[in-house]
Structure 1
Amino acid sequence: MPEHQLTLSLPATPAAARLARHRAVEVIAGWNAGLHAEVVQTAELVISELVSDAVQYAGAERVLLAVSLDDVVLRIEVRDSSPVLPTPALPCPDSESGRGLFLVAALADRYDAEPTEAGKRCWAEIDLSSTSHRDVGCSLPLQRG
């Protein structure tokens, strides 16, 4: 399968996650790569969470989304201009937010956040060979921050 790529520059508004999710699913489906529905649904959720987090916490004017697909991995990257790396932790039970990275960790096979010259990049990878039977666990600290 040849590598497929999508890059979107989105305004950092509350609508960004919805726009990114819909456009990415449309493009991924257009790749005709034979991806299982579970992979596409997982990507949709991961994209939504990473873009939402970038908009909420980064305070950037724009958020950049990149999705790439090769023979073995679907990779999702979100870049913003804030140098502050996210700190994963369990939210308070009554909190209405704070679960984004927890969900990404549970859904993706790998994820991380890295500083860049212009801010940071948060990424997640979905292995194409491991999505049919997934143990939903994570390596997040089990403490409230």
Structure 2
Amino acid sequence: MSSVRQQRFPRARPSVAAARWFAGDAFAGWGIRERWFEMRLCASELAANAVLHGAPPGRDFQVRLTREPHRLLIEVRDSGPGLPVLQCPAPDAPAGRGLWLVRAVADGFGVLDEPVGKTVWAAFAV
């Protein structure tokens, strides 16, 4: 049986921390302790991308967490155009590594092109 928690957040920098806390509270409520830090990191990075690159000004983004029997899915959806691209930043670049981190620590990662916007997801075996 699956459990779902979802919440909308405004396109604002404080929403990144709020999304991270929302995810951490949900994981704790589901009794998930293993890989808790990595899951919160992914929720935070995906939320940061929605704030910085995805959600248009004045629009929200949504974080959806799904707990399945053997998997946890983190999805962040925004209504902005375009799809995220994995970058290869220079070693001294101050940004551009978020999706690389997500891909490195999650068991699965992908992007769904939606009729309006996109959903970026990360999955973890639990």
TM-score by length of 2: 0.92
Distance 1:56 1:102 in 2: 16
Q: 1:79 to 1:59 in 2, by over 3 A?
A: closer
| CA shift digits 1:45-86 (9 cap, x unpaired) | 000000001110124221100000111110000001112111
Letter paired with 2:91: P
Q: Does residue 1:113 correspond to 2:111, yes or no?
A: yes
Aligned to 2:43: 47
Q: Which runs of 5+ in 2 are unaligned?
A: none
Q: Which runs of 5+ in 1 are unaligned?
A: 129-145
RMSD: 1.2
Moved over 3 A (4+): none
Distance 1:36 1:95 in 2: 33
1:79-94 correspondence to structure 2 within 5 Å: 79-94=77-92
Distance 1:83 1:111 in 2: 19
TM-score by length of 1: 0.80
Aligned to 2:21: 22
Distance 2:78 2:55 in 1: 8
**Native 8 Å contact 1:73 1:125 kept in 2:** yes
Give percent identity, aligned residues only: 31
